[in-house]
Amino acid sequence: MAAVSKRSVMTLYSGQTCPLSHRIRFVLAEKGITADIVPVSGDNKPEELLDLNPYGTVPTLVDRDLALYGTKIIAEYLDERFPHPPLMPVDPVSRAKARLVLYRIEKDWYGPLDRLIEGGETDAEGARKALIESLTASNELFANMPYFLSEDLSIMDCAVAPLLWRLPHYGIELPEQAQAVLDYAERIFALDSFQRSLTDAERVMRP
Ligand SMILES: N[C@@H](CCC(=O)N[C@@H](CS)C(=O)NCC(=O)O)C(=O)O
């Protein structure tokens, strides 16, 4: 069934190639939420962004009088404000487990990705190696369910898929021992909501 577009006054300040902004764009697309997207690049920050967010970072979400920053905070807010389709489990134990998985995704996968985005060739090789090894070691986690550790698309997929999308752009090719990761990635990339979450600059990150 096609997603129903919900009227909204929300504004998302979003980096054109920022994986964290991509996570929020994926959440918006999956839930069929319409938001005004303000594209932000490092040297072109709208003045009002610093009034809204003392760190001036993207993603930053504005919903009427509420300004939010911190990717996980924004994603959980959107999930609570627009409950359908749900991206977080309902019961406290499963919610805590999902947050723990997000914590691991941040530490183990976004950590090295951040080092690649920030640049510096010496560290880049180490970051590539760390990411390849960690994703390959996690292959089985991607093997048995249609989505990441879940029967349904969740906030965890909205975090993992933008990272996997960027791998070729940062010179990372996963080995065949990571076949389940590659298959998972293709399934998520094919989703209409994922395709709609991409900026033009992200679209050309993969051949
Ligand atoms: N902890 C923040 C980090 C956000 C962040 O560092 N975003 C980057 C872009 S991916 C950014 O805005 N960099 C520009 C800056 O720090 O001025 C979050 O989770 O949203």
CATH of the domain at 103: 1.20.1050.10
Sequence-separated (6 or more) residues with CB below 8 Å from residue 183:
142
Measured from the CB, is residue 56 less than 6 Å from ligand 1?
A: yes
Is the confidence at residue 3, as pLDDT, over 70?
Answer: no
Q: What is the pLDDT of residue 207?
A: 83
The tally of domains found in the chain comes to 1
> Does residue 7 fall inside a structural domain?
no
User: Which ligand 1 atom minimizes the distance to the CA of 18?
Assistant: 10
User: Which ligand 1 atom minimizes the distance to the CA of 59?
Assistant: 20
Rounded Cα distance between 110 and 118, Å, is 12
pLDDT-derived band at 2 (thresholds 50, 70, 90) equals very low
Note if 18 is an active site residue.
yes
Q: What is the pLDDT of residue 6?
A: 54
Rounded Cα distance between 205 and 207, Å, is 7
Burial class for 45, CB neighbours closer than 10 Å (0-12, 13-18, 19+): middle
Is the confidence at residue 22, as pLDDT, over 60?
Answer: yes
Query: What is the CA(168)–ligand 1 centre distance, in A?
Result: 22
> Does residue 76 fall inside a structural domain?
no
What's the domain range around 185? Answer: 92-191
> Does residue 115 fall inside a structural domain?
yes
Structure tokens at 9: 């006054």
Query: What is the CA(1)–ligand 1 centre distance, in A?
Result: 34
Mean pLDDT over 172-199 rounds to 98
Q: Where are the beta strands (DSSP E) in the chain?
A: 11-15, 36-40, 60-63, 66-69
